Amino acid sequence: MTYRAPVEDYNFLFEHVVALDKVRGTDRFAEATQDVTAAILTEAGKLCEEVLAPLQRNGDLYPAHLENGVVRCSDGFAEGYRAIAEGGWVGMSADPEYGGMGLPMALTAAVSEMMSGACLSLQLAPMLTQGQIEALEHHASDALKEIYLPKLASGEWTGTMNLTEPQAGSDVGALTTKAVDNGDGTYAVTGQKIYISWGDHDLGGNVCHLVLARLPDAPAGVKGISLFLVPKLLPDADGNAGKRNGVSVVSLEHKMGLHGSPTCVMQYDGATGWLVGKEQRGMDAMFTMMNNARLCVGKQGIGVAEAAYQHALAYAQDRKQGKTSAPAVKDSILGHADVRRMLTTMKADIFAARAIAASNAVAIDMANATGTQAWIARAALLTPITKAFGTDTGIAVADMGLQVHGGMGFVEETGAAQFCRDVRVTAIYEGTNGIQAMDLVARKMMDGGEAAMALLDEIEEDVEAARAVFPRLAADVWNASESMREATEWLVAQNDLQERFAGAVPYLHAFARVLGAHLHLMAALADRGGAREKLARFYIQRMLPEHTAMLAHAQAGAEDLYALTAEELAQ
């Protein structure tokens, strides 16, 4: 099957649904005109279709491996990464002062999705580097910026983030990696980190690690953590990669999927590092990188969903089995009602997730361009929804894609199973989706639900304008928005966070359903009588009603979750 980048979908989204014109209206992003946007998407699409997509299967069949202390990547990955770097795709949103293009995050995120759909294993390398660039731009000293940012933005060097340790998974505060002041502006970093994507490779250049560690006498927990930049190769007097640092790869993880992406156990033995940001404020800097990554991980899920959908659709069009009375589909399984249900569900959810993520990216751009609190709050609110819903959509669509294949989907040679295996981890890393939901109902509601209510207000304004054209669809979205408002009011009234956490995941998914319905409705208005209106009707009439059950779950409280004792759970 040939992957086709969703260039047309993004052009439509940016011009008719998520208002990229607002971003272009700022001084910071005035050069991102419609022509520039369309040209960038077209070129990115060509890269993904012609260069990256052919690497997808090879990375799965011939994984990265550790050889004499050096990670050897899958055949073709070095050439693929070189095409990404030389095309300037790594530094799309990076500061032009350090060699970046200064483009909106909305464009970078769109390209990130396309790369993920083409070859997720390879896409992880530039994605992590982009996150590190943002963290260094906001928190590093000028001296570090001068050395590292130009080489990261060009793709000559790559970046990672090092949080997790064997005894400290999501509980980052339990980490034990230590950093000792060398007295010369550097620190000696010692410890072990696990699950480090692209922690080492043979693509060339240097590998730059952002490492969370604890200084001597620092308090326990998250508040005692600092962040350090620890390169594999120490820069020489001219800022070029020099002698080897005290950094090594212990082993590679044997994973369910993403075999082309080397996931390393990293060892730091008195490795030389530089402090990024202030002492004991490491999580502030790391969260800058993680929030960037959470948007892009949501995009990863959407990218895999798109590829899995295309794969399933192509199979359904060719697979001849049984007879149906459906018009104009001959005797392929595309005429069977349940196959059609799955494919339409996949397509509708992909659009919803893509539009939510694009709205999130636009909010980030507006926050960066204007500095206004309303946009900052909007971006923060949408980030956990984008990450969780985007990756859950990727998993669900990949699973349905396998189901469309029937028994052939369970056979590795068809490639359908790889999408399921590759995308599954996206709901786990950069904060599990449960953690994203908890963040949404707790930290993101510290404003008393103000940001959520402001978003619902805007939805209802748009819905009112749509009533004259699509009265039934508009009424359905309006009612769902009001239900969401009532659930949010209930949520912020709960002082016991356990009451919120118990229904956090269904609350997040209900919010995503309402957001998706709103964005589908906007698409229908821009394409009356066309395919997008038809898809919007399917989503609003068949999928939006799920929010009712989700909100009932969200407001059920925590009592019944803890009713069974530990012994009763084991019976």
For the annotated catalytic residues, the residue numbers are 430
Helix spans in 48-104 (H):
56-61, 77-86
The three state secondary structure string of 347-404 is HHHHHHHHHHHHHHHHHHHHHHHHCCHHHHHHHHHHHHHHHHHHHHHHHHHHHHHHHH
Q: 183: alpha, beta or left, given left = phi > 0 and alpha = psi -120 to 50? A: left
334 Cβ partners below 8 Å, 6+ apart? Answer: 313, 316, 317, 326, 340, 343
The single-letter code of the amino acid at 103 is L
Structure tokens at 250: 């212990």
Q: Distance between CA 112 and CA 135 in Å, rounded?
A: 18
* Alpha-carbon torsion (28, 94, 379, 223), positive or negative: negative
66 close to 251: Cβ distance less than 8 angstroms: yes
Structure tokens at 426: 């996206």
The single-letter code of the amino acid at 317 is Q
Q: Distance between CA 397 and CA 49 in Å, rounded?
A: 21
Task: Measure CA 312 to chain center.
Answer: 23
Angle at the Cα of 218 from the Cα atoms of 216 and 220, rounded to 5 degrees: 125
Task: Measure CA 524 to chain center.
Answer: 26
Burial string for 449-480 (b: 16+ CB within 10 Å, else e) reads: bebbbebbeebbebbeebeeebeebbebbbeb
The single-letter code of the amino acid at 255 is K
Q: Distance between CA 114 and CA 349 in Å, rounded?
A: 17
387 close to 434: Cβ distance less than 8 angstroms: no
Structure tokens at 227: 């962040």
